[in-house]
Amino acid sequence: MLVVGGFALAATRVPATEDVAVGPASSGSTLPGVPGSTAGTIPDVVGTAPASVPRPAPEPSPTVTSPSLPPVSSTLITATTSTTSTTSTTSTTSTTPTTTTPPSLTGPYTAIEHYALFTDRCPDISHHLDGTVAFGADTWTYVADYCGQNGADNIWRGTGLITLTAPDGSALAGTFQNQAAVGTSGEPFDVAITTATGSWSGAGGTCHISVHLRELQFGEQEQTGTITCALVQP
């Protein structure tokens, strides 16, 4: 607002971007009661408008505070993975047949041997033996059939078949070859088991027989000794 001679002239605010120039008032205009001017005359008012109208100061921008984040720990977090290892065990069954070793048979025997010369069964000497053998608490029969020949070297040689039969009828049978000097009490020999029946079915092995001869009469002899069988059963 501009005050002139006690009157208020309202100044109109113009946009801040424009400059307003106030020119001189028209001569001859009169305002009553204004000193220094002719009654009824508006004096010339010379004024210089400001070059520009100052802009109002901008209001301060509100301060926006960012929420604070918790501090990041410098310690690395290590994730531990637990792995369970499963071991698979494969069982392999062997196809190799297993064998069992039955108790060895061993015990003393007593037998009577009968022999004859030039029979149909043997060209020189025919032998037949009947006896018993004590295998533990069991008494087995002992039977042997074989042919013998007295050689020019004064050596008796024989081959034949022996059968051992248990009380329950199970049997072991095998072949043998033997030789001994004529006039001696005999020599031990081995029997190869070739047949087994009953509770001994499928068994194999050898039986070792010791021999002690005693002449009873012509054509008859007593034989004593020990029979030991080492057997393997499937």
| 3-class SS string, 135-177 | ECCEEEEEEEEEEEEECCCCEEEEEEEEEEECCCCCEEEEEEE
* Domain 105-232 CATH class label: mainly beta
> Which pLDDT tens digit goes with each residue over 195-224?
999 999 999 999 999 999 999 999 999 999
> Which pLDDT tens digit goes with each residue over 40-68?
444 454 454 555 555 656 565 555 555 55
Considering the chain, tell me which residue range(s) the CATH 2.40.128 domain(s) occupy.
Answer: 105-232
Whether pTM > 0.75 for this model: the answer is no
The single-letter DSSP state of residue 118 is S
